[in-house]
Structure 1
Amino acid sequence: MQFETICVVGLGYIGLPTAAAFAGRRKNVIGVDINQHAVDTINRGEIHIVEPELDIAVHAAVKEGNLRATTRPEPADAFLVAVPTPFKKGEEAGAIPTPDLSYIQAAADSIAPVLKKGDLVILESTSPVGATEKMAGWLAQARTDLSFPQQAGEDSDIRIAHCPERVLPGHVMHELIENDRIIGGMTNKCSEAACELYKTFVRGECLLTTARTAEMAKLTENAFRDVNIAFANELSMICDKVDINVWELIKLANRHPRVNILQPGPGVGGHCIAVDPWFIVSETPKEARLISTAREVNDSKPEWVINKVKMALSDYLRDSPGKNASDVTIACYGITFKPDIDDLRESPALKIVCDICDLKLVKCVVVDPNIKGLPQNLLKDAAFMKTTSAVKADIHILLVNHKCFRSKQFLDGVRGRMYDFTGGL
């Protein structure tokens, strides 16, 4: 098959790098996003997110005429859907979060009018099992003049597959090309067509399977990581209870040739590890007991951190006669979900800062070199500062181990008490 024009729907942390990767191979790429600011920024050859090397790739692709952005899909040979798949939190206490596929449905509705016989549609968004089939159903409802895999099997007019992204923020441009890709078609011909498309730029191996297995593979990878992080986070709370340095303990335990305990932190964030396990739990709640418990452990860690901050404030006031809580400034370092990126999605650090502000007890300042300003919900309650100003605070809370916070210059400049929840110091 010839894939000369590719339409990428969703120009976020995965869609834009993927669009740039195809454009770098001289394909005609149409990027689609409902965010007009993102569209305008990209068409200037600039980027609206932080990701190393992406700015260079986008600038070159736009300058050479291989990438342009718009708000509506246009005819193409292949369509890639890379839109958010958040979850809906239940209203009742203890309710299991459920997947929200409305963005995928909206993307399907937007590309349906421009589909033609022979086109390939790939769902890249991390999705619960069966989401690719649902997308195919929505497309079939909108285009009764075309046949789809669930109707015509191998002879369908439209090929449909699922190919989940498997990249690490901060290393996306490298891993998009070098990592193996799991490609799950609704039929064998769907898988083969998708494989041919990705081989345009992927150097890793393309592993063919079914759509359902591909969906479950991505969820399994992130659930596995979530369970292992939960073990480390639970261990950190146990060690705090029995007065043991968890960082030293893990370092010693990892000297065992078959032990590799991860590093604990203030919680788990991002759109993948903090979300994907719930997709498994929502479908099989009775069977996914360990996965569900791991999610609960990691979701509870921010509250544990808040309690430690309260204790730190109490200790500070005890040692500072004549001072009230309102006289105290707490500096929080980092609000992204992981180091050296600008992504705030499901960030436990951001939740912790919001909870500190909600206490209405102290002055709160925030330092994060990777974002341009505070989110709307923090504007009234916290001050956004540069490191040079924040180091004068009374209490310092390290929540995200950004590279700049590991420097000797930063550590030497801190005047008050430092509490590290990352293990980076």
Structure 2
Amino acid sequence: MMIKTVCVVGLGYIGLPTAAIIASRGMQVIGVDVNQTAVDTINAGEIHIVEPDLDIIVRSVVTTGNLKATTTAEKADVFMVAVPTPFTQDDTCDHAADLSYIQSAAQAIAPVLEKGNLVVLESTSPVGATEKLAHWLSEARPDLSFPQDKGDYADINVAHCPERVLPGYVLQELVSNDRVIGGMSQACSDKAVALYQTFVRGECITTHARTAELAKLTENSFRDVNIAFANELSVICDKLKINVWELIKLANRHPRVNILSPGPGVGGHCIAVDPWFIVSSCPQEAKLIRQARLINDAKPFHVIDKVVQAADEFKRPVIACLGLAFKADIDDLRESPALQILHELVDKEVGTLLAVEPNIKTLPSSLAQSKVELTTLETALDVANIIVVLVDHKQFKVADKTQFASKVVIDTRGII
């Protein structure tokens, strides 16, 4: 299959870097997003998210005309869907995935599909989502055949290739990482491999779509279970008055032990979300995966209790929360335990609250009506009597540690 034009639906933390990388390989890329501001920003050669070096490559491919953004899908050889899959708001389901964004993407691209096109779902999804995408497309285009009916002889090829990149290193890992490609037929897999081999140096491994979907969920569930072990250890160490960081360092000297670092919880659009998709699909079988999620979801409240106890020691507590993002050196606040902790502290009215997040310019709208002040690290260290380290941003790591000596420090990241 000769690929000249690629349409990427969803220009967020995965879609925009993917679109930019493909455009840098000389293909024409049409980026589609419902956010007009994001579209205008990209067409101006700028970016609306924080990712190292992404601004440089976007400016380049927009200038050459290889990337343009729009709110409407256009004809292309390949369509890549990289839209959110948050939790559904249905109370009858246990953290099930909301696939409405995928359905909307199907409705957007269906009118411009042509025989021979490839549609790839990159969104992290529960098992069966790729088949649902194909079904939604077939409902909208009954004049075309799809692989669930025609297999290798379908007019439209459909595959799933989950993203597996680390925020902060997205551009490198989009190229260097191996990719698991699950087609709904062998022909679908082969056509998807042809696409990814245009920009991926890692190996492209083919499987069925359902296996590819579960592979991504499994990767993040593995991480979640191991983080839960570290987080549970940290709670145990608090009770026994043991330094968890020293304990883990010592235990990890065993040649077959590699305990991860604890934190204030688990955040982001992957590790904090994906395991629930397995639990939702197999609630009776996914016992360990569910328990790990419960442990990690409970960790923010353990941190909150420690902050409340510290605040009780001061007549006028001033609490500085260092970091709001879900991980270091990014601006992504999705599912962030740090942000959750700050919200809970606002509700508890424990004192004056300061937020230090060097990667954002304004507080999220959820805090707009609160009295939380977004400030600098210098100001926070000057006026706060309680410091809560929630994210290990580089700015916090290199700070003069003697400045913390006179403060009550609750360090969930082990950097002080």
TM range (shorter): over 0.9
Name the structure 1 match of 2:374: 384
2:414 counterpart letter in structure 1: G
Aligned residue for 1:6, secondary structure, equals strand
Aligned residue for 2:400, secondary structure, equals helix
Q: Deviations over 1:91-118 (max 9, x none)?
A: 37xx621110000000000000000001
CA contact (8 A) 1:234 1:297 kept: yes
Name the structure 1 match of 2:322: 333
Q: Deviations over 1:137-193 (max 9, x none)?
A: 000000001000011111100000000000000000000000000000000000000
CA contact (8 A) 2:177 2:202 kept: yes
Name the structure 1 match of 2:137: 139
Q: CA deviation at 1:411?
A: 5.2
User: Which whole-Å CA distance do the structure 2 matches of 1:187 and 1:265 have between them?
Assistant: 42
Q: Percent identity?
A: 62
User: Which whole-Å CA distance do the structure 2 matches of 1:130 and 1:97 have between them?
Assistant: 16
Aligned residue for 1:331, secondary structure, equals strand
User: Which whole-Å CA distance do the structure 1 matches of 2:391 and 2:405 have between them?
Assistant: 16
Aligned residue for 1:88, secondary structure, equals coil
Name the structure 1 match of 2:194: 196
Name the structure 1 match of 2:29: 29
User: Which whole-Å CA distance do the structure 1 matches of 2:359 and 2:346 have between them?
Assistant: 21
CA contact (8 A) 1:6 1:30 kept: yes
Aligned residue for 1:355, secondary structure, equals helix
CA contact (8 A) 2:308 2:350 kept: no
CA contact (8 A) 1:404 1:410 kept: no
User: Which whole-Å CA distance do the structure 2 matches of 1:417 and 1:258 have between them?
Assistant: 36
Structure 1 residue 9 corresponds to structure 2 residue 6 = no
Aligned residue for 1:201, secondary structure, equals coil
Q: CA deviation at 1:242?
A: 1.1
Q: CA deviation at 1:284?
A: 0.5
Unaligned runs of 5+ in 2: none
Structure 1 residue 224 corresponds to structure 2 residue 254 = no
Q: Deviations over 1:231-273 (max 9, x none)?
A: 0001100111111111100000000000000000000000000
1:22-421 → structure 2 map (5 Å cutoff): 22-88=22-88, 91=91, 96-314=94-312, 316-317=313-314, 323=315, 327-381=316-370, 382-391=372-381, 392-409=383-400, 412=403, 415-421=406-412
Change (3 A) 1:410 1:28: farther
Change (3 A) 1:385 1:35: same
CA contact (8 A) 2:387 2:408 kept: yes
2:327 counterpart letter in structure 1: K
User: Which whole-Å CA distance do the structure 1 matches of 2:219 and 2:352 have between them?
Assistant: 40
User: Which whole-Å CA distance do the structure 2 matches of 1:371 and 1:54 have between them?
Assistant: 17
User: Which whole-Å CA distance do the structure 2 matches of 1:104 and 1:334 have between them?
Assistant: 32
CA contact (8 A) 2:181 2:209 kept: yes
Q: CA deviation at 1:386?
A: 1.4
User: Which whole-Å CA distance do the structure 2 matches of 1:119 and 1:249 have between them?
Assistant: 55
CA contact (8 A) 1:184 1:214 kept: yes
Q: CA deviation at 1:390?
A: 1.2
RMSD: 1.2
Q: CA deviation at 1:414?
A: 7.1
Identify which range, 80-89 or 296-305, moves more after superposition: 80-89
1:336 counterpart letter in structure 2: A
Q: CA deviation at 1:410?
A: 6.5
1:207 counterpart letter in structure 2: I
Identify which range, 356-365 or 293-302, moves more after superposition: 356-365
Question: TM-score under structure 2 normalisation?
Answer: 0.98
CA contact (8 A) 1:89 1:96 kept: no
Change (3 A) 1:223 1:352: same
CA contact (8 A) 1:270 1:346 kept: yes
**Number of residue pairs matched by the alignment:** 414
User: Which whole-Å CA distance do the structure 2 matches of 1:208 and 1:402 have between them?
Assistant: 37
Q: Deviations over 1:207-244 (max 9, x none)?
A: 00000000000000000000000000011001111111
User: Which whole-Å CA distance do the structure 2 matches of 1:108 and 1:347 have between them?
Assistant: 29
CA contact (8 A) 1:393 1:415 kept: no
User: Which whole-Å CA distance do the structure 1 matches of 2:85 and 2:402 have between them?
Assistant: 39
Aligned residue for 1:39, secondary structure, equals helix
Name the structure 1 match of 2:415: 424
Q: Deviations over 1:390-413 (max 9, x none)?
A: 112111111001000011337537
User: Which whole-Å CA distance do the structure 2 matches of 1:416 and 1:225 have between them?
Assistant: 33
CA contact (8 A) 2:323 2:389 kept: yes
CA contact (8 A) 1:405 1:411 kept: no
Superposed structure 1 runs of 4+ greater than 3 Å apart: 89-92, 408-411
User: Which whole-Å CA distance do the structure 2 matches of 1:291 and 1:204 have between them?
Assistant: 29
2:145 counterpart letter in structure 1: S
User: Which whole-Å CA distance do the structure 2 matches of 1:412 and 1:124 have between them?
Assistant: 45
